[in-house]
C-alpha cells in the first residue's frame, strides 16, 4: 500500500469536499443495492426448492406437510430406507446408463450433422436444416403416441433402446453445433485437407477440439434432460426393473398416500450425478469462453 | 520443364466467369508473386492450384503432370494461409508434425525433420508452446514450418503477411526471402501489396478483373509497364498520368510544350496519356514539361512528397527532403524523355 502523500493543509480535501463528491456516487450505490437485492431474491428462489428437498428428506412422514424449513426431529432413516431398497440402485443405474448413452450419442450425431450442414455445400442443404429446425416446434406430448406405436412395432417396449431412441439425436443439439462450427475458420479445414486428412479425420481431429465449449454445454443439457425425463420413460416402461429414477421415485408410497419424504430423499441422492456432470463440464465452458477472448 | 503451368485457366461461379483464361509457366525454384487489387482473381487462382477450388476450364500442371482432378493432398503442394490456420489446441510441435501425418516417414525421421525445420525457422525453444502463447510473427513461422516440413514441390502463400503490423511484415518479408534462397523450392505468393511483390519476387504477375495484365521481373514491371493499370499499380506513390496529344510524332502537353520522343510504336495523331513517375520529375529552368502550384507537402524525412496543381490535373513529385518548395510556390518540372511513358488513352496500352 502506498503511503498518503504529505500534502499541505490547504491541499487536503475537507470532509465537505468529500461529501460534495458523493452525490454522483449515490445513484450508483443505489443501483448496486437494487442489483444485489434482485440477485439475492433470485438466489433465494433457486436455493429454496433444494433446501426444502433436503429438509423434507430429513422429516418424519407426519411432519412432511409442515412448511418449516428445519425439521423438528431430524432423522436419516429415509436415506437408509431408500438406499437399502434394491430397486433404487437399479433405477439409478437405468437413469445413469440411459443418460450417458444418450449424451454420447448426441455429442456424436449432433456434431456430425451440424458440421456437415455448416461446412459442406450440397443441394438441399438449407432445406434439410430447416426441416430439422422445424421439428423443434412439435411438442413431446404430440410425439409420444407415434413413438409408442413405433416402439411397439419394433418390439422395443420396456427396453433401454425403447427409452433412448427418441433422444439419440436432437434438433436443438444439431442447431447448437452448427452455429458453433460457423466460428471455426474454413482455413483450418482447408489446411487439414491439404495436409492429407480425409473429411472424417478433419471433423474429429481439427473441428471437434475447437468446439469443446459447445460440446460441454450440449453434454450438460442432454444429460440433465435425460436424467430428469419422466413422461416418455413412464409410458414406454412397464416393469419396475426398467424404471428410470424419476419414474421409480414417483412410485414411492401407496394408493392412499404419496411418500414425499422418500421421494425427496431419492431426489436428493439423484442430484449427485448431475452435480458431478455440471462441475466437470462447467470447466470446459469457462475455459472455452476465456480462450475465445484471446486474439488469434 | 516448368514446375507449375497454368494453361487457359478459367473459373466460373454459375454463369459468372471470374477468371478468363490464365496462362503462366513457373520454373523450378522460382519465386512468383501474384499481385492485384481485391477481387482480381489472384486468390482464386492460388486456391485452384491448391485444389481447394474446382477448375471450370483449362489445365493445371505441377511437376509435368496434370493435377486438375487430384485431391489437394495428392498435388505435392503446401499452403500458408492469411490467418495462419495453425490449430490452437495443438502445440507448435504437433502443428508442424501435422503436415507429416500422411507421410510414410518413420517416427524418428519425422522427429528429426521437425527439429530441422524448427532450427531453420529459429523455433526450437518454442516447440512445446501453444499458439496462444506466440506472437503474430512466431505464429506465421509455425504456419511456414508446417508447410516446409513436407518439402513440397510448390509452396503456396495466400497473403500471409496481411495480419502483421508494418514492422513485423518487413521482417517476415526478409525472412521468407532468405528462406527461399536457402531451401530453393518453387513459391507462388499472393498479395495485394505491391511493395511485397517488388521486394520478394523473381517475377511478378499483375492481375485485374480475372486477367493477367503483365508478367515480368520487378524491374520490368516498374520501368516498362505494359498498360496504365500496371503503371499506376506498381510504385508508390503511383505514376502521374497526364492527358496529352500526339501530333507530327511529337507529344503536345496541356500547357502547349512539345516534346520529341523516339521509339514510339505509332506515329498516329491522337489523344494519349503521358506517364511519369514522381521521382523522375525534377525542378528545371528550361525544357519544362509542366508547371503548377504546390498545394500540399508531405515530409518523409529524406524526401518530401509535394502535390502540384497543374492544368493536366494534380500530380505528385518526390522532392529533396532538405529544401522542398513551399506551399503556394509555382514550380516548373521537367523529366528525362527516356523516363516518360506513353499510353494510348483509349486502350491504356503502352505506345513506347
* Rounded Cα distance, B241 and A86, in Å: 94
- The closest alpha carbon to B294, from B332, B320, B240, belongs to B332
Q: Are strands B186-191 and B154-158 parallel, antiparallel or unpaired?
A: parallel
Q: Which residue from B127, B27, B43, B81 is spatially nearest to A195, judged by alpha carbons?
A: B81
Q: Within a domain: residue B294?
A: yes
Residue-wise pLDDT tens digits, B84-139: 889 998 999 999 998 888 788 899 999 999 999 898 888 899 999 999 899 888 89
Q: Where are the alpha helices (DSSP H) in A120-139?
A: 125-134
Min mean pLDDT across A36-45, A200-209, B146-155 is at B146-155
pLDDT at A21 over 80: no
Burial of B328 (0-12, 13-18, 19+ CB in 10 A): exposed
Give B 88-107 residues with CB within 8 A of chain A: 88-89, 98-99, 101-102
User: Is residue A254 within 8 angstroms of chain B, CB to CB?
Assistant: no
The verdict on residue B227 lying in a domain is yes
Query: Of the candidates B213, B234, B211, which has an alpha carbon nearest to the alpha carbon of residue B223?
Result: B234
Where are the alpha helices (H) located in B159-236, listed in sequence order? 166-183, 194-200, 218-223, 228-233
The answer on B328 and B217 residing in a single domain is no
Q: What angle do CA A222, A228, A229 make, to 5 degrees?
A: 80
Residue B349 lies in a domain: no
- The order of strands in the sheet holding B186-191 is B77-80, B154-158, B186-191, B31-35, B203-208, B211-216
Return the CATH number at B142.
3.40.50.300
Which has the closest alpha carbon to A289: A213, A186, A185? Answer: A213
Q: How far apart are CA A113 and CA A95, in angstroms?
A: 26
3-state secondary structure of A127: helix
Same domain membership, residue B196 and residue B258: no
Asked if A296 and B87 come within 8 Å (Cβ–Cβ), the reply is: no
Tens-binned pLDDT, residue by residue, of chain B (352 aa): 468 999 999 999 999 999 999 999 999 999 999 999 999 999 999 999 999 999 999 999 999 999 999 999 899 899 999 888 899 989 999 999 988 887 888 999 999 999 998 988 888 999 999 998 998 888 988 998 998 888 888 999 999 888 888 888 888 888 889 889 988 889 999 999 999 999 999 999 999 999 999 999 999 999 999 999 999 999 989 999 998 888 777 888 877 778 877 766 655 668 889 999 999 999 888 778 888 999 999 999 889 999 999 988 899 999 988 888 999 999 999 888 889 999 988 899 998 7
| Count of A-B CB contacts under 8 Å | 59
Strands (E) located in chain A? none
- Is pLDDT above 90 for A29? no
For residues B124 and B216, membership in a common domain is answered with yes
Q: Are strands B250-252 and B240-247 parallel, antiparallel or unpaired?
A: antiparallel
| CA separation for the pair B94, A205 (Å, rounded) | 12
> Which residue carries 509435368 as its cell?
B64
Q: What is the mean pLDDT of residues A192-204?
A: 92
Per-residue model confidence (pLDDT) at position B209: 95
In angstroms, the CA A76 to CA A59 distance is: 8
Cross-strand pairs, B78: B155
The one-character DSSP state at A91 is H
Residue B352 lies in a domain: no
Between CA B291 and CA B281 the distance in angstroms is 11
CA atoms of B204 and B331, how far apart (whole Å) = 36
Interhelix angle A171-181/A86-119, nearest 10 degrees: 50
B171 contact A CB<8A: no
Give the strand pairing for B186-191 and B31-35: parallel
Question: How many whole angstroms separate alpha carbon B186 and alpha carbon B206?
Answer: 18
Query: Residues B107, B251: one domain?
Result: no
If asked whether residues B186 and B91 sit together in one domain, one would say: yes
Q: Number of folded domains in chain B?
A: 2
**Are residue B104 and residue B218 in the same domain, yes or no?**
yes
Identify the domain containing residue B52 by its residue range.
Answer: 2-232
User: Are B340 and B254 members of one domain?
Assistant: yes
Are the CB atoms for B207 and B34 separated by under 8 Å? yes
Cα separation, B315 vs B306, in Å, equals 8
CB contact under 8 A, A209 and B98: no
* Cβ neighbours of residue A128 closer than 8 Å, sequence gap 6 or more: A117
Query: If we measure between CA atoms, which residue out of B180, B174, B206 comes closest to residue B193?
Result: B206
Chain B residues 147-166 with a CB less than 8 Å from chain A: none
Q: What is the ipTM of this complex?
A: 0.80
Render pLDDT for A86-145 as a digit per residue (tens, 0 to 9).
888 899 999 999 999 999 999 999 999 999 999 998 999 999 999 999 998 998 889 999
Q: Where in chain A is the domain with CATH 1.10.3720.10?
A: 86-292
The cell for B175 is 525472412
Q: How far is CA A191 from the centre of its chain?
A: 35
Whether residues B296 and B171 share a domain: the answer is no
C-alpha to C-alpha distance for A274 and A134, rounded to whole angstroms: 29
Same-domain check for residues B287 and B215: no
Q: Are residues B218 and B268 in the same domain?
A: no
Write out the three cell numbers for A25: 456516487
CATH number for B270? 2.40.50.140
Is B29 within the bounds of a domain?
yes
- Tell me if A185 sits within 8 A of B85, measured CB to CB: yes
Over 80: is that where the pLDDT of A65 sits? yes
Nearest to B101 among A187, A196, A296 (CB): A196
Chain A residues in contact with B102 by the CB 8 A cut-off are 195-197
Contact B101 A195 (CB under 8 A): yes
Q: Give the percent of chain A with pLDDT over 70.
A: 85
DSSP state of A202: I
Tell me which H or E stretch contains B121: none
Cell of B229: 493499370
Q: What is residue A25's predicted lDDT score, i.e. its pLDDT?
A: 54
- CATH number at A86-292: 1.10.3720.10
Residues of A in contact with B79 (CB under 8 A): 190-191, 194
Residue of B nearest to A188 (CA): B85
> What does the DSSP assignment read for B236-273?
SSPPEEEEEEEETTEEEPTTS-EEE-S--S----EEEE
Say if residue B189 is in the same domain as residue B223: yes
Residues B303 and B258 grouped into a single domain: yes
Chain A residues close to B99, C-beta within 8 Å:
195
Contacts of B98 in chain A (CB under 8 A): 192, 195
pLDDT surpassing 60 at residue A6:
no
What pLDDT was estimated at residue A67? 82
Compute the distance between CA of residue B75 and CA of residue B53 in angstroms, rounded to an integer: 13
Could you count the other beta carbons within 10 Å of the beta carbon of residue B164? 18
Amino acid at each position: 500500500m502506498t503511503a498518503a502523500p504529505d500534502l499541505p493543509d490547504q491541499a487536503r480535501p475537507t470532509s465537505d469536499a468529500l461529501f460534495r463528491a458523493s452525490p454522483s456516487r449515490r445513484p450508483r450505490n443505489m443501483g448496486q443495492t437494487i442489483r444485489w437485492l434482485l440477485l439475492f431474491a433470485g438466489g433465494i428462489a433457486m436455493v429454496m426448492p433444494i433446501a426444502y428437498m433436503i429438509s423434507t428428506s430429513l422429516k418424519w412422514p407426519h411432519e412432511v406437510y409442515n412448511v418449516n424449513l428445519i425439521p423438528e426431529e431430524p432423522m436419516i432413516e429415509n436415506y437408509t430406507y431408500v438406499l437399502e431398497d434394491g430397486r433404487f440402485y437399479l433405477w439409478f443405474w437405468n437413469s445413469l446408463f440411459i443418460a450417458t448413452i444418450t449424451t454420447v450419442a448426441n455429442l456424436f450425431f449432433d456434431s456430425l450433422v451440424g458440421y456437415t450442414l455448416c461446412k459442406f455445400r450440397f443441394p438441399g442443404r438449407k432445406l434439410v436444416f430447416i426441416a430439422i429446425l422445424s421439428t423443434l416446434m412439435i411438442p413431446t406430448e404430440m410425439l409420444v403416441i407415434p413413438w409408442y406405436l413405433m416402439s411397439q412395432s419394433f418390439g422395443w417396449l420396456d427396453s433401454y433402446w425403447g427409452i433412448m431412441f427418441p433422444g439419440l439425436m436432437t434438433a436443438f443439439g444439431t442447431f447448437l453445433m452448427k452455429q458453433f462450427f460457423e466460428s471455426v475458420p474454413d482455413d483450418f479445414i482447408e489446411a487439414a485437407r491439404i495436409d492429407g486428412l480425409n473429411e472424417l479425420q478433419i471433423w474429429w481431429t481439427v473441428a471437434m477440439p475447437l468446439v469443446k465449449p459447445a460440446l460441454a454445454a450440449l453434454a450438460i443439457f442432454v444429460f440433465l434432460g435425460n436424467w430428469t425425463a419422466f413422461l416418455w420413460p413412464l409410458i414406454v416402461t412397464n416393469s419396475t426393473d426398467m424404471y428410470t429414477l424419476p419414474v421409480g421415485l414417483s412410485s414411492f408410497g401407496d394408493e392412499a398416500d404419496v411418500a414425499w419424504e422418500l421421494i425427496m430423499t431419492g431426489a436428493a441422492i439423484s442430484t449427485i450425478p448431475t452435480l458431478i456432470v455440471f462441475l466437470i463440464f462447467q470447466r470446459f465452458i469457462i475455459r472455452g469462453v476465456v480462450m475465445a477472448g484471446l486474439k488469434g | 520443364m516448368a514446375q507449375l503451368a497454368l494453361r487457359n485457366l478459367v473459373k466460373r461461379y454459375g454463369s459468372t466467369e471470374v477468371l478468363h483464361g490464365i496462362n503462366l509457366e513457373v520454373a523450378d525454384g522460382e519465386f512468383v508473386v501474384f499481385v492485384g487489387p481485391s477481387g482480381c482473381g489472384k486468390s482464386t487462382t492460388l486456391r485452384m492450384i491448391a485444389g481447394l477450388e474446382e477448375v471450370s476450364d483449362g489445365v493445371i500442371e505441377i511437376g509435368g503432370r496434370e493435377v486438375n482432378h487430384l485431391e489437394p493432398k495428392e498435388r505435392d503442394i503446401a499452403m500458408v494461409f492469411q490467418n495462419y490456420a495453425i490449430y490452437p489446441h495443438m502445440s507448435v510441435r504437433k502443428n508442424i508434425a501435422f503436415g507429416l501425418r500422411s507421410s510414410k516417414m518413420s517416427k524418428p525421421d519425422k522427429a528429426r525433420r521437425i527439429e530441422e525445420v524448427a532450427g531453420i525457422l529459429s523455433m526450437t525453444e518454442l516447440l512445446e508452446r501453444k499458439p496462444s502463447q506466440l506472437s503474430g510473427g512466431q505464429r506465421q513461422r509455425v504456419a511456414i514450418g508446417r508447410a516446409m516440413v513436407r518439402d513440397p514441390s510448390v509452396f503456396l502463400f495466400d497473403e500471409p503477411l496481411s495480419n502483421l503490423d508494418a514492422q513485423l511484415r518487413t521482417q517476415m518479408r526478409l525472412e521468407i526471402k532468405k528462406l527461399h534462397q536457402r531451401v530453393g523450392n518453387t513459391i507462388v505468393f499472393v498479395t495485394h501489396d505491391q511493395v511485397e511483390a517488388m521486394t520478394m519476387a523473381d517475377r511478378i504477375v499483375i492481375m485485374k478483373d480475372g486477367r493477367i495484365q503483365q508478367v515480368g521481373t520487378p524491374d520490368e514491371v516498374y520501368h516498362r509497364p505494359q498498360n496504365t493499370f500496371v503503371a499506376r499499380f506498381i510504385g508508390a506513390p503511383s505514376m502521374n498520368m497526364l492527358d496529352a496529344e500526339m501530333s507530327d510524332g511529337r507529344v503536345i502537353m496541356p500547357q502547349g510544350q512539345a516534346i520529341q520522343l523516339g521509339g514510339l510504336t505509332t506515329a498516329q495523331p491522337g489523344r494519349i496519356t503521358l506517364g511519369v513517375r514522381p521521382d523522375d520529375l525534377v525542378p528545371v529552368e528550361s525544357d519544362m514539361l509542366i508547371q503548377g502550384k504546390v498545394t500540399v507537402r508531405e515530409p518523409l524525412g529524406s524526401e518530401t512528397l509535394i502535390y502540384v496543381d497543374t492544368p493536366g490535373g494534380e500530380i505528385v513529385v518526390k522532392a529533396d527532403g532538405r529544401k522542398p518548395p513551399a506551399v503556394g510556390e509555382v514550380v516548373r518540372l521537367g523529366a528525362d524523355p527516356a523516363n516518360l511513358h506513353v499510353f494510348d488513352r483509349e486502350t491504356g496500352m503502352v505506345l513506347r
